[in-house]
Amino acid sequence: MTTVHEPAVTAPADALSVWPASAAEPRRGELTVGGVPLAEVADRFGTPVYVIDEDEVRERCRTYRHAFPEAEVLYAAKAFLCRAMAHWVAEEGLGLDVCSAGELELAVTTGFPPERIVLHGNAKSPRDLDTALRLGVGRIVIDSPSEIARLAAAVGPDGHQKVMVRVVPGVSAGGHEKIRTGTEDQKFGLSIPDGYAQHAIARILDQPQLELTGLHCHLGSQIAGVKPYVAAVRRMVGLMARLYEQHGLVLPELDLGGGHGIAYRPGEPALDLTALARGVRAELAGACAAAGLTVPRLIIEPGRAIAGPAGIALYHVLAVKRTGAHTYVAVDGGMSDNPRPALYGVRYAPRLVGRHSTADPARVTVVGRHCEAGDIVAADVELPADIRPGDLLAVPAAGAYHLSMASGYNLVGRPPVVAVDDGLARLLIRRESLEDIRSRDVGL
């Protein structure tokens, strides 16, 4: 008997634009990432499941190193962190940006060099600071005046710790008001106009065990344009010039944070990394020359831009309900494994995988299984009109702020994470089981 193989299908140019570069459609209805069919991942590991393309992560790390060869690139661990991710980032030459003792200890105990780690956060706990000092973290970013005395006391008179100061540059940028952190009157950083930043810096200079290496700022998240970063450079260099005039202080480092935007759906804008590097580099050189300052070493902290496009979330359809003018497609996950649509109104582009449908597209809303009307995975998207229970949906650009923000809502358990690369799939983080949940419940 002769086996007939269908020819490989070429998807429309933009259909896979928000998927990992390795995404391919070898047969109609089949989608592979990292050489692994997504349907096989779902069969083997169950759903919901997060899939991350190792090569995509590594390639994005290399892209940053190429675009900013003179800078220090720190991966923002809050986007997504596990032991494998820490190894990939370290092997590609990036440092790490963490915001808790938990992230810090996970990274260091799996072999990440502590001197290449920066700890920040607006409300660091005593445990955060003690862990950072015990493990020998490279820098600690001071976010409030109260941290100065606490940190100096923890370091001790004979100790030494490099620090930076987080400054509010007064630049509004970001995809949603809840993730804009570069403006005045919010919880992060120290203000320039009211003098809090300058006062904190003067206090740090009075602490000989604290070495001030530079200034830090972070404008927000999901920023798709270069202009906000250029404006931030201008204002930060202006402050550095005033510090030089007042204290004779020459700071060797300037950290511009991250927040680099990605596309979640075909056609959406993403930050042009080449344009960013060119714009920031030119503004930094020009502003420093005008102020008579030595150009500081640049530090940037991409998180979402590295992890986000490398990840996919897989769900099985549980129910299809038509009510009035709307069709709701309910899946076996939702806001417990991805709260971002409910928090920020993020819109995704799910795709049917595992079977080929010839039905016309229909407008549907993909919803989760949780007891909230706002539990929406993807609103008003096109899927085949014959979508039915048992179908498999894949959601691209799901590598950042999914597992890291996952919750225990309805006690459904957090999904596993599976890495794919070169035709192989391997488990990185196992599914949270009922036994895991039960074992934490120690009282009666």
Same domain for 286 and 190: yes
| Residue 326 shares a structural domain with residue 226 | no
Task: Report the CATH number at residue 150.
Answer: 3.20.20.10
Report which secondary-structure segment, H or E, holds 238: helix 227-247
- Listed residues 308, 334, 360: the one ending a domain: 308
Q: Which of 290, 308, 326 is the last residue before a domain boundary? A: 308
Is 97 domain-assigned?
A: yes
Of 82, 99, 288, 371, which one is the catalytic site residue? 371
Question: How do residues 2-13 score in pLDDT, each as one tens digit?
Answer: 333 434 444 444
Pairing mode of beta strands 361-367, 117-119: unpaired
- Statement to judge: residues 303 and 325 lie in one domain: no
Indicate whether 213 and 339 sit together in one domain: no
For residue 152, the number of C-alpha atoms closer than 13 Å in the C-beta half-sphere is 17
Q: What is the CATH number of the domain that holds 368?
A: 2.40.37.10
Write down which residue in 256, 288, 308 finishes a domain. Answer: 308
Is residue 371 among the annotated active site residues? yes
Residue range 96-106, pLDDT digits in tens: 999 999 999 99
Considering the domain architecture, whether residues 189 and 283 belong to the same structural domain is answered as yes
pLDDT at 1: 37
Tell me whether residue 210 is in a domain. yes
Query: pLDDT per residue over 34-82, tens digit each?
Result: 999 999 999 999 999 999 999 999 999 999 999 999 999 999 999 999 9
Is 126 a residue whose pLDDT tops 50? yes
Q: Look at residues 162, 335, 149, 119 and name the one whose alpha carbon lies nearest to residue 252.
A: 162
Structural domain containing residue 116 = 54-308
Read off the pTM.
0.92
Residue 334, domain member (yes or no): yes
Same domain, 367 and 286: no
Number of domains in the chain: 2
Confidence of residue 379 (pLDDT cuts 50, 70, 90): very high
Cα angle: 306, vertex 12, 8; to 5 degrees: 95
Task: State whether 137 and 269 are in the same domain.
Answer: yes
Q: 271 and 320: one domain?
A: no
Beta-strand pair 351-353/392-396 = antiparallel
Give percent of the chain with pLDDT exceeding 70: 93
Co-location of 350 and 202 in the same domain:
no
222 and 108 inside one domain: yes
